[in-house]
Homo-oligomer: A and B are copies of this chain.
Amino acid sequence: MADSSMTRNNPVILITGGTGFAGTHLVEYLLSQKERNIHVTSHSGRDNFLGDLIPKENIHKLDLSNQKEVEDLIKNLQPDHVYHLASISTVENSFEKMREIMQNNIDLQINVLDAIKKFSKESKVLVITSAEQYKKSEEKLSETSAIEPNNPYAVSKATQDMLAYVYSVLGLKIIRARPFNHIGERQKTNFAVPAFASQIAKIEKNQQDILKVGNLEAIRDFTDVKDMVRAYHLLMTKGEIGEVYNIGSGFGIKVKDVLEKLTRMAKVKIHVVEDPARMRPVDNHFIVADNSKIVALGWHPTIPIDQTLTRTLNYFRSQT
């Protein structure tokens, strides 16, 4: 009796990819919501940041592309909630890595969902895919907009999304989320905003001369990662099983304007230079969310972008 009541009050939560960018912010948010049974998977097993927040034994070192390791974890843990964030990072998003990206992201998707189907059918699962899978458009993208990914990472995310749908048709309690761009502390510098912020921090400390940039004309929908993970939690608790939700601010901003905000925050004058190596072979001009579905569920972004950018820049200053 005590055990079952504990489970209900303190659900066992598993976050795949929990040591990553959104993952660590999600752990912080769930702790602020008094969640105590938080487990994460980590490929390396190392994570100093999370090691201070949750018990070391809750950081499970495993390879999600290994079926047996995933099955053992799910069987042992019987999680109530699974936030399935893990996938190969976009750092690998080159056409040369097509094979690796597809194999890895599809293997881990089938491993996680199949293990839940076999050993933990009652788990509620939030599957995180990506807004990158939508077809090029000059309109805001809704959940019913056409799917037509144009790069390897986006194809792998679209396939993960379809696989999650198929498992939900089979009866798993799956909700899918398609996040648009999100930014904040600890994001890898292969994304535009942390690339800008980390370079500014270095230029301020005379470790670098110029700021190298890619395509500045793209219009993107930026959400603070802290607002983003709040949406993940809302979907886990209030989202409708079987449904898919966009998560984004609903506002488009040119990457060039984000860069200007950051350079104005810099303590020194910043010289910006275009770097062909940072241009994508194919890039969509406009990726902005029609977020009415998740707004109807009670979510809206709360953190102004200037505040997010200040925090992000300060984070990279602290790391430089």
Contacts and interface: CB of A to CB of B under 8 A. Distances in A.
Given A155-B159, A159-B155, A281 B166 contact: no
Nearest to A152: B166
Interface of A: 67, 95, 98-99, 102-103, 106-107, 110, 114, 144, 146-152, 155, 158-159, 162-163, 165-166, 169-170, 281-282
Contacts of A95: 166, 170
Contact of A110 (B98, B107, B149, B151): B98
Nearest to A146: B144
Contacts of A144: 146
Given A99-B110, A110-B98, A155 B166 contact: yes
A103 B103 CA distance: 7
A320 to B, nearest CB: 37
Given A102-B110, A158-B162, 17 more contacts: A98-B110, A98-B163, A102-B163, A103-B103, A103-B107, A106-B159, A144-B146, A146-B146, A147-B147, A147-B162, A148-B162, A148-B165, A149-B162, A152-B166, A155-B159, A155-B163, A169-B282
Contact of A159 (B107, B159, B281, B282): B159
A150 B169 contact: yes
Count identical subunits in the complex: 2
Nearest to A282: B169
Given A99-B114, A106-B102, A114-B99, A162 B159 contact: yes
Nearest to A170: B95
Nearest to A95: B170
A147 B148 CA distance: 9
Contacts of A67: 99
A166 B149 contact: yes
Nearest to A155: B162
Contacts of A107: 103
A227 to B, nearest CB: 28
Nearest to A144: B146
A102 B102 CA distance: 10
A99 B109 CA distance: 10
Nearest to A110: B99
A285 to B, nearest CB: 15
Contacts of A152: 166
A211 to B, nearest CB: 30
A97 to B, nearest CB: 11
Given A98-B114, A99-B114, A102-B106, A166 B151 contact: yes
A56 to B, nearest CB: 32
5 closest pairs, A vs B, by CB?
A: A159-B159, A155-B162, A150-B169, A99-B110, A147-B147
Given A99-B114, A110-B102, A166 B147 contact: no
Contacts of A169: 150, 282
Contacts of A103: 103, 106-107
7 contacts: A98-B110, A149-B166, A150-B166, A150-B169, A155-B166, A159-B162, A170-B281
